[in-house]
Structure 1
């Protein structure tokens, strides 16, 4: 048997809606005494013997909100949350009950048992075998509960969770339910807690001094002695350095933190281009037996924020090219499988983004793992600027959970607290949170996302790095007045665009797919980025947002149910603004023309043509005739006014003497569906998956940019479809097809289907069909690790 085990409890849950205002429909929750005794033996919902056989079978992660219909309503916050019926006004769909049965062998009766919930939205009350074990108020920071005293070794163990989403935490789509992983941690009673390792380093020339802080806890009913040591390996498992064994004496139910140092010669630094991760193996021995052993991935890097020169990673000057993001995706809401985190981060990296702000809440651990592995810096953010015991506890849990991640380079203590950020309340709260951050993680510093202009008061008086939400016009003046405080654009841009749409449409709630429209508080991409790119005192900034997200529709309300802020839409399909950022955020050759060239109703009329490129100059041709050559100003774009005629619009660019070409053509009618999977092999583990992007094309294989054909999906083999989307911010089609008939209309030529693997080693087939068009088949190999 292993020294410890981390067992996934994601599978085989039961789910049932409760009710926030009808006691009979909430399993008598409010009129049954569930807390008057330590263990509730009556026939209540928390009793292990409660009959739940008719409840819906689900696996977690699970977001029940994404399955609900869209509802047109004037209720407060309904628009912000994507017009889904959740919150206090919808009591019948805002309480969720979960139950999970599992067994434990009697041979483990001398072990410690802990339930770990990575994230439940929100206000979750948890019972185990009828015993109340705790409430997690936060919808974003997970928590763990020692249930050792309540384990049943003779039969079923039953977890019961009541989730209350009647109150919102944010002003954006948040989902609801057990939307992150659940684990059972089994350890010896002398053990390293889940957040008990802190690894940090100092770079000295080519070498690094690595400090390993190991917390050991004794849950025995007597004093215990143990030996602790750690060693560092490379990514292949080769041991590079090892501490001596140190004896630790632990009192009854006490813990102790041991600091050990190791030197690494010729340290390989974690960087955006080479995100190298070492491993620390921490070992606890009792006598000659290993009773606990952990593996912690970590990276070695140096970070410097200079108020006048900018940001430096490992001594290299880097402009922060970041995006803000919420955590939902088309088809699946907030319950993202792990592979989706990697998919989304890869898309952002391909665009040239090098940093991710977790807006405005603790991210899921797997997102940070993806950023660690792929080379993406993370600004890790606390939900609220609040120093009450509840929020201090959340902040501590966030820091201790995430401080080993190489990607995390900066903390944020909050976002846009208009009522307190500029007064003494905000200043005092910030000082409290900064002291906590400094204590738990002295290797990093903090910012705060302030929607304030050139104002040095409140939080800004004490925050180490001044964050600007918009107000880019005030950054220069603020820098002039506060030369020693580094400045970061924590939210910038907020251009609103709808992929593939080129005229304002207030009926369908669409805005043009160019860098021209923004709310009153925001700016165009070119406006803020020119300032950030050209001035060294800007550390850089974060665009609002990388991806579209559900809720917060702007500038329209219903039928608009999703934001327009994304550089990519909610499926991850690029909008035209993507090519602006990619032109200036990468060294790749970029030459992109917009709009498409299918305008039969505009023959003889002017079309506004944009070229996004990092070429030195660009010449535009329509059907072989030159429309003129223009010089590209850095961090800008080019425009031509072109009289429309069908055919080919071609751009020829010249960059450092090299010739670049691209074109858009008038297409024929749609004839076929084309489907491309992001990978062709998946693991047969029931968790891995594939994103399949679908295009509608003509007889020459060109995507038809106005196609809206209904596309249907048929999967064969041991796998399942878990969601569909198309990036239309006003679409009310279901993301989850409850009747098993999976379909989604194309939006401006594209749609998406997401597949989750099964557990059999076999080939999978996805048939993609649309009436009147040639179909296609995607083949996927499902195999073991």
Structure 2
């Protein structure tokens, strides 16, 4: 038996964690506002603001006259936008018989659409002369993709990846006391994945300032610990850089506080003597007494502060949050967190959401993780690319494990550097428990080349983060050669029929289901519809390579050595329409739809992944015209037994099979279909009933208080009610929205995988039809104060409104 035991203390060094706002020596300023945007052109320089004409952009440094890069370029006709921004989600759907367009959700972007595939961004700003002498850095958390960046006409760098964060030192190019112009060109003509990816500066941007002697931005601090009974011995490694014009002498020390800022422990003060343009790594041990563990239901986060002092004055300081925990990967007993054995009840997720594409406000990241936790999910797989830092912040704060995955398995310099940057950025996040070096590389994963590449990436991971191990998402069945020979934790993408044979042949290698299930369902639709491209909302239909949810979960529960896995997927996502194509533009794989509305399979997972009293009946009971016809009724529950009744008449009582569900065939009659269940001596009840036609709208906000910071957001779900106040599950009314006050609507959706309605209503007339009785509108705050009121109205229905504080 081979056991991997890891005790770690993890710091958050995400988008905001390296920067202590309270200490004026270092600033981390949000750079999302005040941008101008325009589409360029991938093949015609005359429509791409003269970019590339005669190679004039790079022939002489800083020469940019006549292009969008120039300081004095007239961008008044460009659109005013605020980051995060995804220009692709606002494009209309367009049918083209092309696999790439199909898999990206029929958005007209890519090589076939050069007029939609280049995005230009410009931002003007000023920096006071008094601030000269500091170092300045621009940070982008994600630009899709192949970006090029200029400041004041000078090219400061490019970034190939559409997913990794990137920083550029811009100190040399700043005009102090004058107008500065930052320009970004994003090129989305080539795809990185086979799913919706969007386009543009779709994550946050930041302006960072710090002293010439400073902690490095990515990898500047790393904390890890060995747990000693109730204590934790913390090792904090810092990486300090001198970018001044002469050598520097200083001291460095670290201390730890509780979540409220009370100092709990302090390390030793270490001397520092650093030559020009050199960097150095320092290490310190701090004993944290009676350490409070980070756990799924108690995600306690400490704060760590690292300080550089020179001549008795603090010149740089970084503040981070961190958590203390242990986990174990055991080839015979599976996985344990803080010594407690558990199955990984995970989901794989892409990063887009209805209405906003890939440009999610932070609140939406938290909203989605809360929905998953409510279902019983304890682990999130970021597929198939580095996530936004705010997603990890949400998982750290709410208690969700994360499998952090790099985009591509390749040890060439470009992709090795991408994996390096990912680890350095995320290695201190409390939520990350496992690295993934890649996903389903069909051509090379079973070869000797694949083995050598994987070995390089595994060794790189162990060098940068010895506190964790890694896996690889392999769709290779029980095949061992290649990547699987060197990966510490064997990942299975489907092919679960080979689990037992593989485990018997390789008993020392822990095994996890990196991608499992893949049931395809359409929320609220319970009959197959090949015209509208819908599949029934039961756990029945799946592609040839996959299985139902119930199949994989029973396999997991029957094998103590099988760690668990990540169902495909937590939410529907744009692209990869399966099993149909056009008019279908979304996937059907989600346990929830693109808005986060649950499907029937959601209640199967919730029944067996939580201790909640779950009793759910599917389908709804509005079937006008089907009187007397048989309807298949599914009941998901974790009760001991369930009795089903139609209009008070018993249809029989059945025992609930462990990790299963119950089915009745019921001849439809309007009225009330009810279930009575017993669970450990308690009675649980549920019902669905035939409703009347809708007469009113109901708006249901995720919260009613908004911060006027220009970043906060609220998700408002929309339903229709009948005259008795019951939700009408098959309502399809068109709902219009009117928003007044210091906020803006940034997207609408309804979860319909074949809807071609606009996610962005460019004319300002926001609307969305109900699908399965539901729709959603997403609102983002502005910076000015004042009351915010959203009104929803529809012809023939009573309107509703909600006011936000």
TM-score (norm 2): 0.96
- Which residue is equivalent to 1:151? 174
Deviations 1:350-370 (A, max 9, x none): 000000000000000000000
SS in structure 1 of the partner of residue 38 of structure 2: strand
Instruction: Say whether the 8 Å CA contact 1:75–1:89 is kept in structure 2.
Output: no
Q: Please, which of 19, 22, 31 is the counterpart of residue 53 of structure 2?
A: 31
1:76 aligns with 2:99: yes
1:440 aligns with 2:458: no
- Which residue is equivalent to 1:593? 617
Q: Please, which of 400, 407, 410 is the counterpart of residue 431 of structure 2?
A: 407
Query: 1:322-721 alignment to 2 at 5 Å?
Result: 322-721=346-745
Deviations 1:112-133 (A, max 9, x none): 0011111000000111111111
Instruction: Say whether the 8 Å CA contact 1:40–1:46 is kept in structure 2.
Output: no
Instruction: Say whether the 8 Å CA contact 1:711–1:768 is kept in structure 2.
Output: yes
Deviations 1:479-514 (A, max 9, x none): 111111111001111000000001110100000000
CA distance in 2, matches of 1:431, 1:711: 55
Query: 1:214-225 alignment to 2 at 5 Å?
Result: 214-225=238-249
CA distance in 2, matches of 1:534, 1:129: 63
Instruction: Say whether the 8 Å CA contact 1:497–1:511 is kept in structure 2.
Output: yes
Deviations 1:264-303 (A, max 9, x none): 1110000001000011111011111111111111110001
* Distance apart, 1:52 and its partner CA: 1.2
* Distance apart, 1:242 and its partner CA: 0.4
CA distance in 2, matches of 1:127, 1:761: 35
- Which residue is equivalent to 2:65? 42
SS in structure 1 of the partner of residue 542 of structure 2: coil
Over the aligned positions, Cα root-mean-square deviation in angstroms equals: 0.8
- Which residue is equivalent to 2:155? 132
SS in structure 2 of the partner of residue 527 of structure 1: helix
CA distance in 2, matches of 1:457, 1:566: 32
| Count of aligned residue pairs for this structure pair | 781
- Which residue is equivalent to 1:160? 183
For structure 2, which runs of at least 5 residues remain unmatched after alignment?
Answer: 1-22
* Distance apart, 1:47 and its partner CA: 1.6
> Higher RCO, 1 or 2 (CA under 8 Å, sep at least 6)?
2
CA distance in 1, matches of 2:24, 2:729: 56
CA distance in 1, matches of 2:94, 2:628: 43
1:11 aligns with 2:33: yes
1:20 aligns with 2:19: no
CA distance in 2, matches of 1:713, 1:272: 38
SS in structure 2 of the partner of residue 507 of structure 1: coil
1:141 aligns with 2:164: yes
* Distance apart, 1:3 and its partner CA: 0.7
- Which residue is equivalent to 2:20? none
- Which residue is equivalent to 1:762? 786
- Which residue is equivalent to 1:204? 228
CA distance in 2, matches of 1:101, 1:728: 40
- Which residue is equivalent to 1:176? 199
Instruction: Say whether the 8 Å CA contact 1:282–1:295 is kept in structure 2.
Output: yes
1:185 aligns with 2:214: no
SS in structure 2 of the partner of residue 301 of structure 1: strand
* Distance apart, 1:206 and its partner CA: 0.5
* Distance apart, 1:45 and its partner CA: 2.1
CA distance in 2, matches of 1:553, 1:214: 46
1:722 aligns with 2:774: no
CA distance in 2, matches of 1:48, 1:4: 28
- Which residue is equivalent to 2:108? 85
- Which residue is equivalent to 2:13? none
- Which residue is equivalent to 1:236? 260
CA distance in 1, matches of 2:708, 2:297: 30
Q: Please, which of 222, 234, 259 is the counterpart of residue 283 of structure 2?
A: 259
CA distance in 1, matches of 2:516, 2:794: 40
SS in structure 1 of the partner of residue 797 of structure 2: coil
Q: Which moved more, 1:726-735 or 1:152-161?
A: 152-161
CA distance in 2, matches of 1:751, 1:16: 30
SS in structure 2 of the partner of residue 83 of structure 1: coil
Q: 1:41 to 1:515 in 2, by over 3 A?
A: closer
CA distance in 2, matches of 1:41, 1:15: 18
* Distance apart, 1:425 and its partner CA: 1.0
1:752 aligns with 2:787: no
* Distance apart, 1:51 and its partner CA: 1.6
Instruction: Say whether the 8 Å CA contact 1:671–1:698 is kept in structure 2.
Output: yes
SS in structure 2 of the partner of residue 774 of structure 1: strand
Instruction: Say whether the 8 Å CA contact 1:229–1:283 is kept in structure 2.
Output: yes
* Distance apart, 1:760 and its partner CA: 2.6
SS in structure 2 of the partner of residue 663 of structure 1: strand
* Distance apart, 1:75 and its partner CA: 2.6
CA distance in 2, matches of 1:567, 1:530: 17
TM-score (norm 1): 0.99
Instruction: Say whether the 8 Å CA contact 2:95–2:106 is kept in structure 1.
Output: yes
* Distance apart, 1:41 and its partner CA: 4.9
CA distance in 2, matches of 1:156, 1:749: 51
Deviations 1:313-353 (A, max 9, x none): 00000110000000000000000011110000000000000
* Distance apart, 1:634 and its partner CA: 0.7
SS in structure 1 of the partner of residue 112 of structure 2: coil
* Distance apart, 1:226 and its partner CA: 1.2
* Distance apart, 1:601 and its partner CA: 1.4
CA distance in 2, matches of 1:120, 1:586: 38
CA distance in 2, matches of 1:557, 1:511: 12
Instruction: Say whether the 8 Å CA contact 1:11–1:59 is kept in structure 2.
Output: yes
SS in structure 2 of the partner of residue 120 of structure 1: coil
Instruction: Say whether the 8 Å CA contact 1:62–1:335 is kept in structure 2.
Output: yes
* Distance apart, 1:759 and its partner CA: 1.8
CA distance in 1, matches of 2:361, 2:154: 30
CA distance in 1, matches of 2:24, 2:292: 32
For structure 1, which runs of at least 5 residues remain unmatched after alignment?
Answer: none
Instruction: Say whether the 8 Å CA contact 2:50–2:66 is kept in structure 1.
Output: no
Q: Which moved more, 1:167-176 or 1:237-246?
A: 237-246
Deviations 1:236-263 (A, max 9, x none): 0000000121111111111111100100
- Which residue is equivalent to 2:120? 97
SS in structure 1 of the partner of residue 509 of structure 2: coil
Q: Which moved more, 1:273-282 or 1:598-607?
A: 598-607
SS in structure 2 of the partner of residue 443 of structure 1: coil
Q: Which runs of 4+ in 1 moved over 3 A?
A: none
Instruction: Say whether the 8 Å CA contact 2:57–2:64 is kept in structure 1.
Output: no
Instruction: Say whether the 8 Å CA contact 2:633–2:666 is kept in structure 1.
Output: yes
1:57 aligns with 2:77: no
* Distance apart, 1:44 and its partner CA: 2.6
SS in structure 2 of the partner of residue 300 of structure 1: strand
Instruction: Say whether the 8 Å CA contact 1:63–1:176 is kept in structure 2.
Output: yes
- Which residue is equivalent to 2:5? none
* Distance apart, 1:14 and its partner CA: 0.8
* Distance apart, 1:203 and its partner CA: 0.7
